[in-house]
Amino acid sequence: MKNLFDELNKDYRFKEGFHTCINCGTCTAVCPAAEFYCYDPRQIVSIVQTKDDQKIEELLKSDRIWYCGECMSCVTRCPRKNGPGLVIMALRELSIRLGYFVESEKGRQMLPLTHALTGNILNYGYCVHPKSFKWEDHKESGPVFKWHLEHLQDSMARLGANYDGDGPGVLRRIPKESLDELKAIFDVTGGTERIKHVEQCSAKKAKEMGMTDEEYEKMAFEYCSDKHFNN
Amino acid sequence: MIYEGKQKIWSDYQKEIPDDHWYYVRSCIRQNFFPASERMFTEITRNVLGKDMYETPFHTTCGGIAYHADTIPQETVMTIVARQFALMTEAGYENYCPSCITSFGNYAEILETWREFPELEARIRENLWKACRREFNKPKYLAHTSDLIYHWREQIREKAKHLLINRETGEPLRIVEHIGCHYAKMFPHKGVGGAEYPYVLAGMVESWGGEVIDYPERRHCCGYGFRQYHVKANRGYSVSNTHKKFESMEPFHPDAIITNCPGCPYFLDRWQYVIAEQTGKTYGRNGYGIPVFTYEELAGLVLGYDPWDLGLQLHQVAVEPLLDKMGVEYDPKAKYLGLNKEDLMKPEMPSSIKCC
Ligand code: SF4
Ligand code: SF4
């Protein structure tokens, strides 16, 4: 096993966001994730600061590193210029790289997230796109959005969008040559490899849990046990 | 003393914003949920203010949401951004304005990281060349599109048809300003007014006649949290944080909320609907919620555009209470009509919060 702290230290987010922590708890006081989940960014930074590989490995396999919303509110307020949110990003990166993410309920969400977001980027050139936005999975978008999606072409035209059209404008179709460039960027920078890696680790875990890939992905997207909450 | 301290902080966070020739890049979230706001931004800047706001059809997502949901490596997002800069360079521009706050934060973070670690910038340049055969200059100026509306706020005021003033009482309307977290929380000097006293939206509200409300959770996140919304199992995080904000602002009786991030108005609008449907609670008067606006929508109302041309029919919380207070004329029957008054039927009405 590589030295985990040294591995973290190679990450630019870690280099930027990890300095001596005085355990003041300011980050936890302003953190929206700590509001909701059993989560304490102070404790995360404190554990990493011990440089104890066993404790860091436990973190990488736990739900705790997946609670943060990456809002970066903690970055503004830390008196020591730490960025617990940035430390979290580095921990997540390492957890994914080592395949530890499949060991926690929240970590397993990497599969549906990866499919949804990288799928949108590579297929459409957007992070979010109406063609993959299923209202049934987003009932909070309300009856107004259901109506909008049911009349998508007409509603978009009324709103002055260039939906799926050529040339510039709102929600224009991204030209094929631009999508090809995005794919090439994914290939060159490890984005494509990352997708495959998440899929492979997830498939192995699904088998171990006695599930099909589809059952595993659905569970990761929808299931929430009650152990995560603050109250 | 305290006032002087604030003045000092404020003077530290002034930001130079060139007056013209901007290279414009769109926001994934704003295009999906507030499409008319982006159309209105180019309409106002080009046709009302006469500015050069260039857009190429070849630009794409910046990858920021995928990056903050941890689904793409840092080098991938940086190289996507490098390609965006290459398109700007090829078009002959050096002032770069993204419509999205996640993008704005993403660009700011990347430029800062490259400044600190030049070897990483060199590697990204190689990546971009290998993948796309492109080269780039970094932007000379980076501004969020709300910075630009802030910069031109007095010109908008000069052309105003309606102000943020209650036409019955003559009192200023009471407005909550909500700044997207990635606007200045990471790099306070990149935002107008910094992270503690951001002035970008407050400046618009004051110029257009309104009064800004201070309330305890003013700087709290809307609750987006990237993976905390995109995964269905996590959405309690998102609604809980919105709930916290509304409970905190309720005693101050806001007439409206103005936002600069494309995600925040979606969450602040839709979670009000969900809270109402789940608990029966509404935060406005008489079964209405508190209407939430993008800065383009509010600028459009001030300039006298038709509310349905501004896309306000896509909100789940009724905007009509604010329109009535401002004295904006509108045709309620035209709210859900398509182009050329085509009948597109109507959305169902929620049971616990008024939508019209
Ligand atoms: S605010 Fe900074 S110094 Fe204080 S506990 Fe958090 S990381 Fe440590
Ligand atoms: S970035 Fe994460 S740890 Fe920091 S305040 Fe936001 S949710 Fe909390």
Count how many domains chain B has. 2
Would you kindly state where each structural domain of chain A is located, as residue ranges? 4-101, 108-222
Q: What is the DSSP string of B35-102?
A: HHHHHHHHIIIIIIS---EE--TT----SHHHHHTT-S-HHHHHHHHHHHHHHHHHHT--EEEES-HH
B48 and B119 housed in the same domain: yes
B36 and B165 housed in the same domain: no
Q: Average of pLDDT values for B291-300?
A: 98
B137 and B245 housed in the same domain: no
- Between CA B186 and CA B189 the distance in angstroms is 9
The reply to whether B151 falls in a domain is no
CB pairs under 8 A between A and B: 272
pLDDT tens sequence across A28-53: 999 999 989 999 999 999 999 999 99
B231 and B318 housed in the same domain: yes
pLDDT tens sequence across A111-160: 999 999 999 999 999 999 999 999 999 999 999 999 999 999 999 999 99
CATH number at residue B108: 1.20.1050.140
Residues of chain A neighbouring B315 (CB-CB closer than 8 A): 144
pLDDT tens sequence across B192-250: 988 888 999 999 999 999 999 999 999 999 999 999 999 999 999 999 999 999 999 99
Contacts 24+ apart (CB under 8 A), B322-327: B322/B173, B322/B255, B322/B256, B322/B291, B322/B293, B325/B166, B325/B167, B325/B168, B325/B173, B325/B255, B326/B162, B326/B163, B326/B164, B326/B165, B326/B166, B326/B167, B326/B173, B326/B301, B327/B162, B327/B167
What is the CA A114 to chain-centroid distance, rounded? 8
B231 and B112 housed in the same domain: no
Question: CB distance B70–A142 less than 8 Å?
Answer: no
Report CA Rg, chain A.
20
Question: Domain boundary residue among B145, B172, B201?
Answer: B145
CA of A86 from ligand 2 middle (Å) equals 9
- Between CA B87 and CA B80 the distance in angstroms is 11
CB neighbour list of residue B317: distance below 8 Å, 6 or more residues apart: B269, B272, B273, B284, B288, B289, B290, B291, B292, B353, B355
Question: Domain boundary residue among B145, B177, B202?
Answer: B145
B141 and B164 housed in the same domain: no
B113 and B234 housed in the same domain: no
Best probe residue, ligand 1, of A50, A80, A87 (max atoms within 8 Å of C-beta): A80
Block residue for tokens 């400044």: B115
Question: CB distance A159–B70 less than 8 Å?
Answer: no
* Strand residues in chain B grouped as ranges (E): 22-25, 53-54, 95-98, 141-142, 174-178, 211-212, 256-259, 292-294
B141 and B165 housed in the same domain: no
pTM (global) more than 0.95: yes
pLDDT value for B46: 98
- Model confidence at B11, pLDDT cuts 50, 70, 90, reads low
Does residue B279 have a pLDDT over 60? yes
pLDDT value for B197: 85
pLDDT tens sequence across B131-156: 999 999 999 999 999 999 999 999 99
CATH superfamily of A4-101: Alpha-helical ferredoxin (1.10.1060.10)
Report helix, strand or coil for B220: coil
Question: Domain boundary residue among B98, B121, B145?
Answer: B145
Report helix, strand or coil for B290: coil
Report helix, strand or coil for B172: strand
Q: Average of pLDDT values for A207-223?
A: 98
CATH number at residue B196: 3.40.50.11810
B178 and B318 housed in the same domain: yes
Does residue B1 have a pLDDT over 60? no
Residues of chain A neighbouring B241 (CB-CB closer than 8 A): 32, 35-36
| Nearest residue to B235 (alpha-carbon basis) of B205, B270, B202, B210 | B270
B176 and B322 housed in the same domain: yes
B175 and B124 housed in the same domain: no
| Nearest residue to B38 (alpha-carbon basis) of B299, B319, B338 | B299
Nearest chain A Cα distance for residue B326, angstroms: 23
- For chain B, the distance separating the N- and C-terminal CA atoms, rounded to the nearest angstrom, is 48
| Nearest residue to B78 (alpha-carbon basis) of B125, B36, B34 | B125
| Domain housing B122 | 18-145
Amino acid B291 reads: P
The reply to whether B154 falls in a domain is no
Averaged pLDDT of chain A? 97
The reply to whether B355 falls in a domain is no
Nearest residue (by CA) to ligand 2, atom 2, is A68
B220 and B271 housed in the same domain: yes
Taking the CA of A37 as reference, the closest ligand is 2
pLDDT value for B15: 84
CA of A79 from ligand 1 middle (Å) equals 7
Best probe residue, ligand 1, of A16, A21, A48, A73 (max atoms within 8 Å of C-beta): A21
